[in-house]
Amino acid sequence: MADPLLQVRDLHLALPDLNAPRLFGPAPQVGILHGLTFDIPRGATLGIVGESGSGKSTLGRCLVRLLEPTGGTILLNGDDITHASPRDLAAHRRDLQMIFQDPMSSLNPRHSVLRLIADPMRLHGIQDADAKARDMLDRVHLGRRFADRYPHQLSGGQRQRVGIARAVGLSPRFILADEIVSGLDVSTQAQIIRLLEELVADMDLTLAFISHDLSVIRRLCREVIVLRAGQIVEAGATSKIFSAPAHPYTAALQSSIALPELDEGWLLS
C-alpha cells in the first residue's frame, strides 16, 4: 500500500446547536463526528458513504479544513493541519481542493468559464493561467469553444466539468468530491465518473468521493468507509465490503439501494 497522504486520528467535531432553546450564553455543542481514524494513501480513490445525517459531508469539510475539528489530528503529507490558522493553511490550499455538489452556487455567474478556471491558477502563482485553463477545458472534454461562455449558458453536467477543471487545474495532492453526480441524469453521471477515472489515473490524484449512491461508489472507489451517526462502522476494500458486509448497517444500506450489475457499457457514451 502507498504511503498515506492524509492521516486522520481520533477525529472529533462538535458544532453549536442553534436550535436549542436558551436564554443566555453560547449555544450548547452537539457532537457530529466521534473518534474517526483512517488513512488515505497517495493515489487512492476512497468512497465515503452513509445515510443522510451520518456526517459524511461534515467529515469531508474537516478533511479540507473548511471546518476545524474539536479533537484529534489531521496530517497532510506529514504536516499537522488540524488547527492551522488561515495564514498557515494558505500554504496548503492548493493541495486541498473540493468539487461541490451544486456547481451553479459555487461558480461566480458574472465570470466566464475561462476566468473561473484561470483565476485560481493566478491566485496560486501559476504562470500562463489562461493558456493552461484552455488546456483544462480540453482535459475535461468541454473544448475551448466554452471559454467565453457563462455558467447560466451551460448544462448541469457542463457546469460540473468546469468545477472539476477548477480543482484539477491546480494539480492538488488531494481532491474531495461531495455528491457531485447526485443531481445529474444517469447518462451524465456515467460521463462524469469516467472523466474522474481518467483524471485520477493520468494525473496521479488522490480522491475522496462522498455519495449516497452505492453503485457509483462501487464503480469508482477501491476503498470505502461507512459512516453511521458520525462513527465508522466498517472500512476496507470496496469489493470485499459490498460482497460480504460485516456490519448490519452496511447490509441495510445495500438492501435499501439497488446495486445493478455493472458493465463497461454503462460508462460508454
Sequential DSSP letters for 39-108:
EEETT-EEEEE--TTSSHHHHHHHHTTSS--SEEEEEETTEE-TT--HHHHTTTGGGEEEE-S-HHHHS-
Do residues 162 and 154 make contact, with C-beta atoms less than 8 angstroms apart? yes
DSSP helix, strand, coil percent of the chain (3-state; round to 5): 40, 25, 35
DSSP-derived 3-state class of residue 38 = strand
Average pLDDT over residues 32-41: 96
**Nearest Cα residue to 40 out of 5, 16, 91:** 5
pLDDT of 263 higher than 60: no
Residue 225 pairs with which residues in a beta bridge?
48, 235
The pTM for the full model equals 0.88
The closest of 15, 113, 110, 23 to 61, measured between CA atoms, is: 15
Residue 20 has pLDDT above 70, yes or no: yes
pLDDT for res 269: 44
Map out the domains of the chain as residue ranges.
4-20+27-257
Q: How far apart are CA 135 and CA 144, in angstroms?
A: 8
Average pLDDT over residues 107-129: 95
Q: Residue 220 and residue 165: Cα distance in Å, rounded?
A: 18
**Percentage with pLDDT > 90 across the chain:** 72
CATH superfamily of 4-20+27-257: P-loop containing nucleotide triphosphate hydrolases (3.40.50.300)
Closest CA to 189 of 107, 99, 98, 267: 267
Higher pLDDT, 27 or 96: 96
When pLDDT is averaged across residues 241-269 and rounded to a whole number, the result is 71
Span 186-205, mean pLDDT? 92
pLDDT on residue 268: 46
Whether the per-residue pLDDT at 192 is higher than 60: the answer is yes
Pair 47, 56: CB distance under 8 Å: no
Per-residue pLDDT at 259 exceeds 70: no
What is the structure's pLDDT at 215? 85
d(CA 70, CA 106): 27
How far is the C-alpha of 53 from the C-alpha of 228, rounded, in Å?
8
76 pLDDT above the threshold of 50? yes
Q: Give the three-state DSSP class for 6.
A: strand
